[in-house]
Amino acid sequence: MSWPLLSLAVLGLALAAGFAWYERAHPGARVLALVATLAALAVVGRIAFAPLPNVKPTTDIVLLTGFVLGGAPGFAVGAVAAVVSNFFFGQGPWTPWQMVTWGAVGVGGAALARLTRGRLGRVGLAVACGTAGLLYGAVLNFSAWVNFTGGETTGSLAVFYVRAIPFDVAHAVGNVVFCLAFGPAFVRALRRARDRFEIRWSQATGAAPAAGRRGIAGGGAALVMALTLGLAAAPPARAAAPARYLQGAQNPDGGFGGAPGQGSTQLHTGWAALGLAAAGRNPRDVTRGGRSIVDYLRAGAGSLDDSGELERTILILRAAGLNPRSFAGRDLVAELLRRRKADGSISRQVNLTAFGIFALRAAGSRPGAAPVRRAAAWLLRQQNRDGGFGFARRGTASDPDDTGAALQALAAAGRRGTPAARRAVGYLRGHQNADGGFSLTAGGASNAQSTAWAVQGLVAAGVRPDGVRKRGRTPLGYLRSLRAGDGGVRYSRSSAQTPVWVTAQALTALEGKPFPLAPVPRRARASAHRSLTRAAGGTPGAPRAAGSAPAGGGARAGRTSAASSARAAGRGAAGPLTPAALRAQAPLVAAAYGVGVMTGTIFGGVITPSSPGESR
């Protein structure tokens, strides 16, 4: 077998493996549309800059796609961009090489995101794009030697590399310039688009024919890529936000019930306050009928009689910028300290002790202070052999809720990077469900509250929740998939119980705020009201309630009220506007539309979308 035939065989296997990898992730129709859009954008980017030899934004687009969306989508965008653009530039033996190499650039972008945890600035991204350009050139130079000389002499290989230096340098410099110009903005736009697609997904009751969905994906791709090339875009339409949902559920007494219209309770008001504080709303500024959340808590302060209520209220007062040592005539911190056991725990329960650490840190205690240090030491001794934590003590079955709470407590106590914290993260990774979420019990169906606890624990441990995947699905994606049109978050696929509580915990998770929360700045009355009416919620969770249900149930009763009712319930874009600058580019828009349709058609033949009833 000759060198060209052998290389084509190897390339064919690589392409088959790459597309099989992507297909194995079961991409949904909305994800498919986003990937098709990016592939079409990469195609038009290559065509638009054809007059400038080797100066193209295509490599940047592919690398940044992998950086944000992951290796499989990055590979698909690169490979499809190569084959589609060559309908304009000409197909030949170089096409498989371009497909594999640009696909590899997308995979490299995903690897870069994993190495840097997705935190790479403008200069770092530019350096990566320039390096990718040089590596791309090196592979294509080798392919030219194989295809046009048969790989007979190594001496001729050096000639190919030397003669290509000006072109490779132009490619790398162009990549750097493009990335410096739009790299970070492109990454932010991709993340917003990804989040919007995940948020809007809901289980369909009917479906258009697959071919229709593919055509729509291609047409939408054309508009978005043309808008991006025009370097102008209008703000996207926003779905209803969890923060707005919560604010609308507030009662005239300033408190919250388990659902809109239900009577206020300390438990649900407390969690609503924490969720809104995580989203940037000071509890003193969230009002209804002239009464704020803090007004409601102050009116009911005399009924605070268990550890969970004290801990939760201290956290809320900290977020509101108030002093928990002097609230409604009570020193809540001193009362909590008197409840400690001799071993440093609170009631010898993991859940209450973790919240005790949050509360003490919120009240100003340092990680090295004796009460925090002793509580953390007790907590470490309760870790189970599997790395997780249970609700009470060592030997109680581990669950994601309490493991997430313990991770936050360890971080708050200055023990974020300890072996115990790493083992707890390992437990969470090993107990993620196939839909990306987490369940309270092993083998159970995922639910929003357990997932929120896990996400918040991961964030506290310094782990990106989007990097914790099961079959391509993430815990944040699972939470977003539960969002209803009014902004509320369902408990699970089959239950919408206590929506205020569930939405509040999910919002804390979506905002990426582990406990204890920092004080939230006050806003002027008018501007605070306006911001609440148009706010959008967003990223990591709240542990299961450390607050209590009425009368002696403590934190355990507060938490298990949701768990028991869950079991009873069987738990187990609009696009941007077209700017005037784009309307002046009618020929480019027409070409972009054609490329978009072609890309959508190719994706329809290569990758099968998930079924309409599949939830993401």
For 52-106, how does the pLDDT look when each residue is reduced to its tens digit (9 = 90+)? Answer: 777 888 888 988 888 888 777 888 888 888 878 777 777 777 778 788 888 888 8
Q: Which domains does the chain have, with CATH numbers?
A: 3-203+210-234+579-606 (1.10.1760.20), 242-568 (1.50.10.20)
Eight-class DSSP state of 545: P
For the segment 296-335, what is each residue's pLDDT rounded down to a tens digit? 999 999 888 889 999 999 999 999 999 999 999 999 999 9
Contact predicate 271/543, CB 8 Å: no
**Other CB atoms within 10 A of residue 501 CB:** 30
Answer yes or no: are the C-beta atoms of 505 and 271 closer than 8 Å.
yes
pLDDT in the model for residue 28:
55
CA distances, 496 to each of 167, 203, 251, 367, 569 (Å): 59, 15, 20, 38, 9
Among 104-108, 248-252, 527-531, where is mean pLDDT lowest?
A: 527-531
Of 610, 602, 470, 599, the closest CA to residue 61 belongs to: 599
Q: Which of the pair, 170 or 6, is modelled with greater confidence? A: 170
| Beta-sheet pairing, 291-292 with 287-288 | antiparallel
Nearest CA among 59, 65, 130 for reference residue 98: 59
Is 174 in contact with 54 (CB distance < 8 Å)?
yes
pTM of the model: 0.52
Residue 317, SS3 per DSSP: helix
CB-based contact 347:339 (threshold 8 Å): yes
Sign of CA dihedral 339, 345, 348, 352: positive
Ramachandran sector of residue 167 (left: φ over 0; alpha: ψ -120 to 50; beta: rest): alpha
Res 141: pLDDT: 80
Residue pair 34/217 in contact (Cβ under 8 Å)? The answer is: no
DSSP 389: B
Q: Are 248 and 488 in contact (CB under 8 A)?
A: no
